[in-house]
Chains A and B, each alone.
Chain A
Amino acid sequence: MLTLPTFVAMMFVTFVMLRLVPGDPIEVRRGERGITPERLASLRHEMGLDQPVWKQFGDYVWAILHGDFGTSIVSKSPVTQEFFALFPATVELTVCAMIFAIVIGVPAGVVAAVKRGKFLDQALMGVALIGYSMPIFWWGLVMILFMSNTLHLTPVSGRVDLIKYFYPHPTGFLLIDSLITGPKGAFIDVVRHLILPTIVLGTVPLGAIARMTRSSTLEVLEEDYVRTARAKGLSPFRIVGLHALRNALIPVVTSIGLQMGSLLAGAFLTETIFAWPGIGHWLVNSVFRRDYPVLQGGIMLVAIVVILLNVVLDMTSSLINPRLRHER
Chain B
Amino acid sequence: MKSLKLFSAVMLLSTMFVGAAAAKSLVYCSEGSPENFTPAMNTTGTSLDAARPVFNQLVQFVPGTTQVEPGLAEKYEVSADGLTLTFHLRKGVKFHSGVNGFTPTREFNADDVLFSFNRQWKDDHPFHKVSGGAFDYFNDMSMPDLLASIEAPDPMTIVMKLKSPNAPILANLAMDFATIQSAEYADFLMKKGTPEQFDQIPVGTGAFSFVEYQKDAVIRFKANPDYWGGKQKIDDLIYAITPDATARYAKMQAGECQIMIAPNPADLEAMGKDANINLISQAGLNIGYMAMNAQKPPFDKIEVRKAIAMAIDRDAILKEVYQGAGQKAKNPIPPTMWSYNDAVKDIPYDPAKAKEMLTAAGITSLDTDLWWMPVQRPYNPNAKRMGEMVQADLEKVGIHAKLVSYEWGEYRKRAQAGEHQMAFLGWTGDNGDPDNFLAVLLGCNKEGKPNGNNIPKWCNAKFQDDVVKAAASADHEERVKLYGDAQQIVADEVPWLNIAHSTVFEPVSKKVSGYKVSPLGSHVFVGVDVAE
Chain A residues with a Cβ under 8 A of chain B: 22-24, 26-34, 36, 39, 43, 46, 74-78, 81-82, 85-86, 89, 141, 144-145, 148-149, 152, 155-159, 162-170, 181, 183, 272-275, 277-278, 281-282, 285, 290
Distance in angstroms between the alpha carbons of A76 and B196 in the assembled complex: 9
Query: Does the CB pair B3–A28 fall under 8 Å?
Result: no
From B15, B139, B200, B428, give the contact of A168 (CB < 8 A): B15
Distance in angstroms between the alpha carbons of A158 and B254 in the assembled complex: 13
Q: Which residues on A sit within 8 Å (CB–CB) of B14?
A: 166-168
Query: Does the CB pair B412–A85 fall under 8 Å?
Result: no
Shortest distance in angstroms between B249's beta carbon and chain A's nearest beta carbon?
9
Query: Does the CB pair A30–B216 fall under 8 Å?
Result: no
Interface status of B242 (Cβ within 8 A of chain A): yes
Query: Does the CB pair B21–A148 fall under 8 Å?
Result: no
Q: Which residues B247-262 have CB closer than 8 A to chain A?
A: 247, 250-251, 253-254, 256
Known interface pairs A86-B216, A277-B217; A157-B247 also in contact (CB < 8 Å): yes
Query: Does the CB pair A277–B214 fall under 8 Å?
Result: yes
Q: Which residues on B sit within 8 Å (CB–CB) of A145?
A: 250
Q: Which residues on B sit within 8 Å (CB–CB) of A167?
A: 14-15, 18
Query: Does the CB pair B254–A23 fall under 8 Å?
Result: no
Further contacts, 15 of them, CB under 8 A, given A27-B413, A158-B256, A275-B241: A23-B410, A27-B409, A33-B140, A34-B416, A149-B250, A158-B217, A159-B217, A166-B17, A166-B220, A168-B11, A168-B14, A275-B242, A275-B247, A277-B215, A278-B216
Most A-side CB within 10 Å, residue of B412, B428, B453: B412
0/1 per residue, B43-83, Cβ < 8 Å to A?
Answer: 10000000000000000000000000000000000000000
Shortest distance in angstroms between A79's beta carbon and chain B's nearest beta carbon?
11
B-side interface residues, number (CB < 8 Å): 60
Q: Which residues on A sit within 8 Å (CB–CB) of B3?
A: 78, 81
Q: Which residues B271-314 have CB closer than 8 A to chain A?
A: none
Shortest distance in angstroms between B197's beta carbon and chain A's nearest beta carbon?
11
Chain B binding surface, main DSSP class: mixed
Most A-side CB within 10 Å, residue of B27, B132, B428: B132
Distance in angstroms between the alpha carbons of A24 and B407 in the assembled complex: 10
Distance in angstroms between the alpha carbons of A290 and B407 in the assembled complex: 11
Known interface pairs A155-B256, A166-B220, A183-B18; A32-B410 also in contact (CB < 8 Å): no
Query: Does the CB pair B412–A76 fall under 8 Å?
Result: no
Distance in angstroms between the alpha carbons of A29 and B35 in the assembled complex: 11
Query: Does the CB pair B43–A275 fall under 8 Å?
Result: no
Distance in angstroms between the alpha carbons of A168 and B7 in the assembled complex: 10
Q: Which residues on B sit within 8 Å (CB–CB) of A285?
A: 32
Distance in angstroms between the alpha carbons of A149 and B276 in the assembled complex: 14
Interface status of B25 (Cβ within 8 A of chain A): yes
Q: Which residues on B sit within 8 Å (CB–CB) of A170?
A: 11
Query: Does the CB pair B254–A281 fall under 8 Å?
Result: no
Q: Mind listing 29 A-B residue pairs with CB under 8 Å? A: A23-B409, A24-B409, A27-B410, A32-B412, A32-B427, A34-B453, A76-B132, A76-B199, A78-B3, A85-B215, A89-B217, A141-B250, A148-B254, A149-B253, A149-B254, A156-B247, A162-B27, A162-B218, A163-B25, A165-B21, A168-B14, A168-B15, A169-B214, A183-B19, A274-B247, A275-B241, A275-B243, A277-B216, A281-B216
Q: Which residue of A lies closest to B218 (CB)?
A: A162
Query: Does the CB pair B243–A162 fall under 8 Å?
Result: no
Interface status of B336 (Cβ within 8 A of chain A): no
Query: Does the CB pair A31–B254 fall under 8 Å?
Result: no
Interface status of B335 (Cβ within 8 A of chain A): no
Q: Which residue of A lies closest to B10 (CB)?
A: A168
0/1 per residue, B462-484, Cβ < 8 Å to A?
Answer: 00000000000000000000000
Q: Which residues on A sit within 8 Å (CB–CB) of B246?
A: 141, 144, 273
Distance in angstroms between the alpha carbons of A91 and B453 in the assembled complex: 45
From A29, A144, A166, A278, give the contact of B247 (CB < 8 A): A144
Distance in angstroms between the alpha carbons of A290 and B32 in the assembled complex: 16
Shortest distance in angstroms between A233's beta carbon and chain B's nearest beta carbon?
57
The 7 closest A-B pairs by CB, nearest first: A27-B409, A277-B216, A277-B217, A22-B407, A168-B11, A275-B242, A28-B409
